[in-house]
A and B are shown apart, each in its own frame.
Chain A
């Protein structure tokens, strides 16, 4: 059992769940909420978009199903390709959410791969931190960039496991390990997780948490996958805390006693 005090600390606040989830790509808001209930996430990402003007007045809103007073909203800058756009989006988000400062910064560099543009990300992070935002930053798995983002003052570093929405899993555990070993702020894997074992591996590497969306929303049964992810995150965390045995090619130490064999 994970001890109660094993909390995730981000920007001075503690969370019991180490799974952070996006709210996109679900069939409807009801399914979104059911998935969140099944995965136990406390921090959920939302996008900032133009409001429908005039049309569909009675249209349901995400906020009705996932109320911002029950969950920690993490407004993101998904779809932004420049530092200016990302900063503008998050300033609007802060106004929208009554001064809320915890945000996810992501600046993309290429619409085909959705690979992050780290140069623009660094620029945006600097501005946002000066303006008092608590920035959780999506980045590549480059350890030097990760360290620079931490030095600027980001409150969490979130390298990709693989490309957004790819479900390819953790492609470079070695870089993630270097980032984790050198970071003094939480490192969370963001993007690329495809199934439960990917999430468990991220946690076993020592990640403080995992942020995912498509792996749950695009599963055949999103609610069941949400539950699987919750267990994978917890299992991975416990395995990390427990400390795994050393790997060796073979062992001269049998599991059963060598004495008392019948002959």
Chain B
């Protein structure tokens, strides 16, 4: 399936994957991040429950230095 993550299309072999599965594949497990799927914020407690679908758009953000 194809997912649009932070503005870029990424292809995955998996046909079914939870958000937690994606977070693991991206080596972001345990990192302080927040995820928005198709414009909706997904809380960490839902990462295991929500299954991604082809074409989903995701924003994955973190805190960086800023004024």
Contacts and interface: CB of A to CB of B under 8 A. Distances in A.
Given A53-B26, A95-B41, A62 B33 contact: no
B65 A164 contact: no
Interface in B9-51: 10, 26-28, 31-36, 41, 43-44
Contact of B63 (A53, A62, A213): A62
Contacts of A24: 65-67
A69 to B, nearest CB: 11
A26 B65 CA distance: 8
B1 to A, nearest CB: 16
Contacts of B27: 54, 57
A47 B65 contact: yes
A47 B67 CA distance: 7
Contacts, number: 98
Interface size of A as a range: 35 or more
Interface residues of B, number: 26
A37 to B, nearest CB: 16
B43 A95 contact: yes
Interface in A196-230: 213-214
B34 A23 contact: no
Most buried by A among B35, B41, B44, B67: B67
B31 A51 contact: yes
A5 interface: no
Contacts of A92: 34, 36, 41, 59, 61
5 contacts: A48-B64, A51-B31, A91-B41, A95-B41, A96-B34
